[in-house]
Amino acid sequence: MSDRGTKTSWALLGAPLMSLILVVSLAVTLVAPRDEGLGDAQRIVYVHVSVAWVSLLSFVVMAGTGMAYLRNRQLSWDAWSHAATEIGWLCCSLTLISGSLWARAAWGTYWTWDPRLTTFFILWMVYSGCLLARESFADRHRRARVCAVLATLGLLDVPLVTMATRWFRGIHPISPEMEPSMRAVLVVTALSFTAFFSLLLTRRQMQLRRKHELAGWTQATQTGPWSAPTRGM
């Protein structure tokens, strides 16, 4: 498929998703009822829960593709892991920010070392460590190995995040009571964010693969006319 055809295909995929995000945004502000206790601040929950879900999903993808690289030593798996790391770090950061804003309205403080918040902060630190590791090693295989090991070890934190409110005593709600219309808007919002994440993940890993292929060809050209690039893809 030509580059022009590829761009057209991505545009056809992206346009409906962006429309869905717009519809969901209108649903959050206009359809979902106003909470009697928190008022409009409760609407933060729709975005907060959705980006938190994508953060966990991204981490599972990052660790799963990292383990696939450790098994097969194919850098194409590392491209998926790298893409999931970038998107996951962004969503994890948005989760902490939106959660702090909601906590200020609900609990009167931006932060408390609640078990759910603490374990999620650990998740953010692992994400950050993977991004730092990718900037610290020039060799692609060494970089992929280090990030894969970090992601695999960090995967142990995902069940702690998920079950923290049930296993440990804290102030974070286990499953807040919501009206049926609120819950419906929350489900639609989470599904739309998941679809958008899938599009971004696929697009970003393609960019990373092409970037590394181009770097390989450039290095081969500089080395000599008879050298072939090591694609590793």
To the nearest 10°, the Cα dihedral for 76, 81, 83, 88? 170
Whole-number pLDDT of residue 215? 67
Alpha-carbon 137 to chain mean position:
23
**Cα(149)–Cα(191) distance, integer angstroms:** 30
Backbone angles phi, psi at 178, to 5 degrees: -140, 150
**Cα(51)–Cα(101) distance, integer angstroms:** 14
Whole-number pLDDT of residue 12? 52
- Asked if 35 contacts 42 with a C-beta cutoff of 8 angstroms, the reply is yes
Which DSSP symbol is given to 35?
B
**Cα(31)–Cα(17) distance, integer angstroms:** 19
Question: Does residue 1 lie within any of the structural domains?
Answer: no
Question: Does residue 22 lie within any of the structural domains?
Answer: no
pTM here is 0.82
Question: Does residue 54 lie within any of the structural domains?
Answer: yes
Question: Does residue 141 lie within any of the structural domains?
Answer: yes
For residue 108, what are the contacts with CB-CB under 8 A and spacing of at least 6? none
Question: Does residue 109 lie within any of the structural domains?
Answer: yes
**Residue 104 carries which side chain, given as an amino acid letter?**
R
Specify the residue for token string 């971004």.
200
Question: Domain of 156?
Answer: 40-169+180-221
- Tokens at residue 132, please? 């730092």
- Asked if 86 contacts 55 with a C-beta cutoff of 8 angstroms, the reply is no
Question: Does residue 5 lie within any of the structural domains?
Answer: no
Specify the residue for token string 């717009």.
22
Handedness of CA 24, 195, 110, 89 (dihedral sign): negative
Whole-number pLDDT of residue 151? 95
How many angstroms separate the Cα of 43 from the Cα of each of 18, 21, 136? Answer: 20, 15, 40
Whole-number pLDDT of residue 228? 47
Specify the residue for token string 């296993």.
167
User: How do the pLDDT tens digits run along the chain, 233 residues long?
Assistant: 445 545 555 555 556 666 666 666 666 666 666 766 677 777 888 889 999 999 999 999 999 999 999 999 998 999 999 999 999 999 999 999 999 988 888 888 888 888 999 999 999 999 999 999 998 888 889 999 999 999 999 999 999 999 988 888 777 777 667 777 788 888 888 888 898 888 889 989 988 888 877 766 666 676 655 444 444 55
Question: Does residue 149 lie within any of the structural domains?
Answer: yes
Total domain count for the chain?
1
Question: Does residue 57 lie within any of the structural domains?
Answer: yes
